[in-house]
Amino acid sequence: MKRITAILMGIGISLAFAGCTSQSLEGQQEQVNFFGMDTYMTITAYGEDAGEAVEEAQARILKLEKEWSVTDESSQIYQANHSGGSPVTLSDDTRDVVSFALEMAEKTGGALEPTIYPVLEAWGFTTDENRIPAPDEIQTLLEHVGYEQVSLSGNELTLPEGVELDLGAVGKGYAGDAAAEVIKEQGVTSALLDLGGNIQAVGKRPDGTDWRIGIRNPFGDGQMGMLLASDCAVVTSGSYERYFVGEDGKEYTHIIDPETGYPVDNGLVSVSIIAEEGKVADALSTSMFVKGLEGAEEYWKEHQDFEMIAVTEDGDIYVTEGIEDQFTLGDSFGNMELHIITS
C-alpha cells in the first residue's frame, strides 16, 4: 500500500570501520538486490555465513509474496478475496499475518483497515488509473469495508461476498521480521534490510556503532534528518509517496481514511515509526498517519511501545522523547520547529 522512503546512510563502501575485527567483517559483506512485493529490495549482511543468509532471506520474502499477492490468482489472499464467501485454508504464515492485521485494526480503532482494498482500487491507486469516485460509489464500497466482517478460525479464513483483504499495510513489515529471523538463524549478527524503504536492522553495524538512517524530506529531495538506530525497524508513511492531482486541482494521497473512503487530509505529510518489530512499525506508520497528529500523540502516550517522528504540512516536526537524542535535523532544516512529545 505504501512506498516507504527512509534513505540509508553508511552502507557498503561508505561504511567506516576501525580495528581488525570490523575490517574482517567488511570483507565478508554480502548483498542481494531483487524485486519483490511490488518494490526494489536490498539485503546486506556481514560475516562468515552472510552469503547463505541473504539468499535464504530473499527466498523467504518471495515465498510470502506468492502467498499474499492480491493480483496473483494462485495466492491465498487472492483466493479468499474471490471465494464468494467460502472458507479458504491458509498457511501458518498467512494465518499469522492476517491475525496480526485484524489485531492491529482493533487496537487502532480501525485506523488500520485491512479490508480497504476495494476503495483503493476505485481511486485507481492499485491500477495507476487514478480518478475521483462518485460519493455514492464510495458509500456503496464502504458497506464492504470493516475488519469485523472477517472471520478467521484457526487456519480457515472466510470473507463475505464483496469483502477483500489487502496486507499492504503490514506485509512488508512481517516479511522483514521473517527475513531478519532467517538471517539470525544463520549466525549473522550485523545486517540491514531495505524492503522498498522498510528498514530492518539486525544488530549494529559491523564496527559496533548504530546504523545511520536518513529520514527523507517530505517536501522535496534529500533528507530531513538522521536517525541512529540498531536492532529495530524504521518505517515511514507519507502523503507525498503516491498521489495524483484531480481535475479539481487538488492532490489526493493513497492513504485512505477508512471512515470516509477519501484520502487522508489532516495536516500531516509524513509519519515515521521506530519499533522492535517490522510488522508493528509497518502497521503503525499507516494508522498513526490516519489518526492525525493529535490522535497519534494520544496513542503513543497510551502504549509507548514504539517511537515516532511526525511532520506537518506547516513544517513542524514532532519527535517522541525516546529518540530525542538519536534524531538530528539536517542543516537545511534548522529553521523548522522541533517539538518533543513527552509522556
Q: Is 265 annotated as a binding residue?
A: no
- Locate 73 and state its grid cell: 490468482
Which residue in 160, 182, 224, 204 sits closest to 6, CA to CA?
224
Q: Are 277 and 233 in contact (CB under 8 A)?
A: yes
**Looking at the chain, how many residues does it have?**
343
Q: Is the dihedral of CA 110, 113, 119, 125 positive or negative?
A: positive
SS3 content of the chain, % helix, strand, coil (to 5): 35, 25, 40
169 is in an annotated binding site: yes
Q: Indicate the DSSP class of residue 269.
A: E
C-alpha 247/C-alpha 159 separation (Å) is: 35
Residue listed under C-alpha cell 479539481: 248
CA distance 194 to 47: 18
Cβ-based neighbour number of residue 264 at 10 Å: 22
Cα distance between residue 134 and residue 120, in whole Å: 13
Q: How far apart are CA 137 and CA 119, in angstroms?
A: 9
Instruction: Establish whether 189 is an annotated binding residue.
Output: no
Burial (0-12, 13-18, 19+ Cβ within 10 Å), 6: buried
Residues 6+ apart with CB under 8 A from 325: none
d(CA 177, CA 230): 14
| Annotated binding-site residue numbers | 169, 282, 286
Task: List the binding residues for Mg(2+).
Answer: 169, 282, 286
